[in-house]
Structures are given as C-alpha cells and as structure tokens.
Amino acid sequence: MKIKIVTLGCKLNFAESSAIMHQLLSEGHTRVKSGEQADIVIVNTCTVTDTADHKDRQAIHRVRREHPNAKIIVTGCYAALLQQKQERNEQLACADTTILDEIDVLKPKDLVNFVNAYSRDDRTRCFLKVQDGCNYFCTYCTIPFARGRSRNPYIKDIVAQAEQALQDGAKEIILTGVNIGDFGRSTGETFLDLIKALDSLSPITSNLSPLPDYRIRISSCEPNLLSDEIIDFVAKSRHFAPHFHIPLQSGSNEVLRIMHRRYTRELFAERVAHIKRVMPHAFIGVDCMVGVRGETEECWNDYLQFIEQLPVSQLHVFTYSERANTRMLDMDLYVVPQAERERRSKILHKISDEKLAAFYAQHKGSQATVLWESKKTGNQMSGFTENYIKIYGPYDKEKINTFEHVTINV
C-alpha cells in the first residue's frame, strides 16, 4: 500500500512518525510520491494549545480532500485526548464529533511502556527520542493525559540507536522527549549519565580532525532539572552544542505558582547566568506563555520587566487557551480577555525579534562551525552553527552533510 504521514507539533512527534514509516516500509509498503493518491494517510497530531487542535482538524480535512479514497488514521496527542473523552462519555465539541464520525482515531502509543523512535528522514539531522510522558501535571497542561507518566529506556539502548543513526549518515542528533531532564525515572539512571555516554559514541572520523565527527543538541530541559553539572559538562564537551532550550512560561513568581511550575524566576535567572558564565556564546531559547488565568496587569508587568532584562537569544511565545480537564479551569482567577492575550503575545514576539537580532550582531565576525544542509534556495544553501546561527553560502552539493569552519557574517 501507498502510505503518507502528516506530522504536526513537536520534534518528538517527528521522531515517532519516522519510526512508524520505517516500520511500514519494512513490511513492504511504499511511501506515496508527490501527485499520487495514498491508500493510507496517518495524521500524527498535537494538542498543546487550542490553536494546535485547530491545525489538527484543518490537516485532517485537507487530507480527506486530497486523498478521498484513502483510509485515514489519526494518532498522536490530540487523538489520545479524543479517545479519553469518548471513553468517559464526555460531551465533545461539534468539530471533534465530526472527526470521530468520519475517520479512524487510533489511541496512540503505549502510555505505560517506552516505545523507541528516532527520525530517519533527514540525512543530516536525527531526532532521537530519549524520554516520554510527564509527571508534573501543570495546571494549564493536558500533555500528561495524552502522553502518560514519565518513562525512558536504558542508556545502553539509546547509545545503540545513536550509533546506528551516525552509521546511517546523521551528523547531528537532537535529544527529544516530553520532559527529558526527568530521564532515568524508570531505569535509575540520570540525564547527566546519558549525555556523558552520548559524548563518547564510536567516532565516524578520526578524533584528530579539527572538525567534529558529530554534534548533539539538547532540545528542551526544565530549569529545575538543568543542573550546574549538566551545564558545565556541555561547556567542556566536544560533541554537545552550546545551545539550550529552557521553558520559562512566566516571569512572574505568582503566575508560576498558579501554573504549579517547580521553580522560581530567580532560579531560572541563575541557570541562564551560569550558562552565559561558562559559555558566553551559547544560544538560549525560552518558552513563554501569555494570558493564563491569574496573569493580572501587575503580574504581566512584572513578567515583562523580567523577560526584557533576561540575556537570552530567542523567545518561543504561546498564547494561553483553555484546555478541558485542566485544574486551572477550577481556579477562581482573573481571566485575561482574548484581545489582551493577543496584545501581550505581540509584545513578546517583538522582544524576541530584538533579542535574536542582538545575538546575531554580537557574533558577527566570529569563527564557528556550520553543518551544511541539503535544501537549496536559489543558488544558496544553508546550515546552522553550533550555537544555532543560520549561515548561508553558495550551493555546493559536495558540502551537504559536512562541517565547515566559517566566519559569521550575518
């Protein structure tokens, strides 16, 4: 059969979609080509926000139009929550009811055991799943219900997968999961143990080369789990990139308390300061949410002042949307009007643009190592430095999936 997979959401979903496709190809099915009609279309969904749900539904309806005779299977986080609502006989929104009536909703993944996955579709970059699920149950979030409790495989199994990815040609591995800093909960190991093991994979080229033989990025790590020991190890590592993605969500301690986050803004600032102290050139991306219940004008101003002063590289801004069965809905809190949520979001997006421009300007003229990617735009190719600065250069097919020392001129 001809198979098509549509993936929405996070890097973890892409890793799992790739694993699904690899299994189907190994069973004799084929990947649908451009312009062909698929026999089966799998839609791997996200449900992190109401906007994500809307994009899921749009994707499903688009697939139905483009592949009218295909069997459509919906899986992923949105599908998991739909299944749970149906099993509890809860009233569903009209749009969700239509999806349940029209297509097959597959309760995704094993929510108790760990299911291995890594992406195989990008020759340069590999998304390696090292952890799944979350035990935190923040008051605004549905992901623990969709993904289950925190769990992970043994380090030796991840090392074997990473070495296979390098043998397959990957030059950059991105560690993915729902809460990867919580690694080891089901095996008695630690995230620090994991990154130490991954820093010593079997080399593909000689370690005597001035260029790295592979590179690893940490996708996202909770600030309370990103220890000084982890930061210091990355700073001295040959293979781990000076690139961190840390969820802040709010710069107001009062809102962090309402959210049931497990840190204060002071701890967050300490983590950022420590990174900058040992890796001044490090890229730091930060998740920020605006408009949650309880984010009063006073809390927002406090948040804004904190984020403006924080020496980070880029903000990933999310606008709060009410999620069914979350504890925040049961709290008697100030409700931020939708228009005000959008206004606050625009402010943070502007700050993000300014911080990113300043980060690029700070490193102009410095030396870095770029990993060239295969995409061709006109006569140009591009790649990212170790500290996540995008570099452009004349297209050269021989450079694809290779490292090169460059001078940053963006």
Residues 6+ apart with CB under 8 A from 400: 123, 124, 372, 373, 374, 381
pLDDT tens digits for 51-70? Answer: 899 999 999 999 999 999 99
Q: Which two tokens stand for residue 338?
A: 């939708």
Provide the percentage of residues in the chain whose pLDDT is more than 70. Answer: 91
Q: Which helix (H) or strand (E) holds 76?
A: strand 71-76
Domain boundaries, the chain: 2-105, 112-241, 249-362, 367-407
Q: What is the mean pLDDT of residues 333-345?
A: 98
Banded model confidence at residue 113, pLDDT cuts 50, 70, 90: confident
Banded model confidence at residue 115, pLDDT cuts 50, 70, 90: confident
What is the topology classification, in CATH, of domain 249-362? Answer: Transcription Regulator spoIIAA (3.30.750)
What is the pLDDT at residue 85? 74
Please indicate whether the domains covering 2-105 and 112-241 agree at the CATH topology level: no
Residues 6+ apart with CB under 8 A from 175: 128, 130, 194, 195, 198, 216, 217, 218, 219
How far apart (Å, rounded) are the C-alpha atoms in residues 225 and 119? Answer: 25
What is the pLDDT at residue 97? 67
User: Domain spanning 112-241 has what CATH number?
Assistant: 3.30.750.210
What is the pLDDT at residue 283? 98
Q: What is the mean pLDDT of residues 264-279?
A: 98
pLDDT tens digits for 158-178? Answer: 999 999 999 888 999 999 999
What is the pLDDT at residue 209? 60
What is the pLDDT at residue 112? 76
Query: Rounded mean pLDDT of the chain?
Result: 91
Check whether 129 has a pLDDT greater than 90.
Answer: yes
Measured between alpha carbons, how far is residue 297 from residues 231, 287, 289, 308, 310 in Å? 35, 20, 15, 16, 20
DSSP state of 109: S
What is the pLDDT at residue 102? 62
46, 9 in Cβ contact below 8 A?
A: yes
How far apart (Å, rounded) are the C-alpha atoms in residues 225 and 230? Answer: 9
308, 351 in Cβ contact below 8 A?
A: yes
Q: Which two tokens stand for residue 114?
A: 């760990």
Q: What is the mean pLDDT of residues 237-250?
A: 97
How far apart (Å, rounded) are the C-alpha atoms in residues 328 and 247? Answer: 19
Residues 6+ apart with CB under 8 A from 170: 122, 123, 124, 125, 126, 214
Banded model confidence at residue 324, pLDDT cuts 50, 70, 90: confident
What is the pLDDT at residue 39? 94
Q: What's the longest Cα–Cα distance across the chain? A: 63
What is the pLDDT at residue 318? 95
End-to-end CA distance of the chain, in Å?
A: 46
Nearest residue to 201 via CA among 231, 248, 225, 237? 237
Banded model confidence at residue 356, pLDDT cuts 50, 70, 90: very high
Check whether 244 has a pLDDT greater than 70.
Answer: yes
What is the pLDDT at residue 227? 97
More confident residue, 224 or 208: 224
Measured between alpha carbons, how far is residue 197 from residues 330, 353, 396 in Å? 44, 36, 34
What is the pLDDT at residue 109? 53
DSSP state of 34: T
Among 209-218, 252-261, 337-346, name the one with the lowest average pLDDT: 209-218
Check whether 243 has a pLDDT greater than 90.
Answer: yes
How far apart (Å, rounded) are the C-alpha atoms in residues 43 and 203? Answer: 36
Check whether 352 has a pLDDT greater than 70.
Answer: yes
132, 151 in Cβ contact below 8 A?
A: yes
pLDDT tens digits for 64-111? Answer: 999 999 999 998 899 888 877 776 666 666 667 666 666 676 655 567
Among 13-17, 79-83, 145-149, 188-192, name the one with the lowest average pLDDT: 79-83
Check whether 278 has a pLDDT greater than 80.
Answer: yes
Q: What is the mean pLDDT of residues 141-145?
A: 91
Check whether 401 has a pLDDT greater than 90.
Answer: yes
Helices (H), 279-337: 297-309
CATH number 3.40.50.1980 is the correct assignment for the domain at 2-105: no
Provide the percentage of residues in the chain whose pLDDT is more than 90. Answer: 76
Nearest residue to 289 via CA among 305, 271, 307? 307
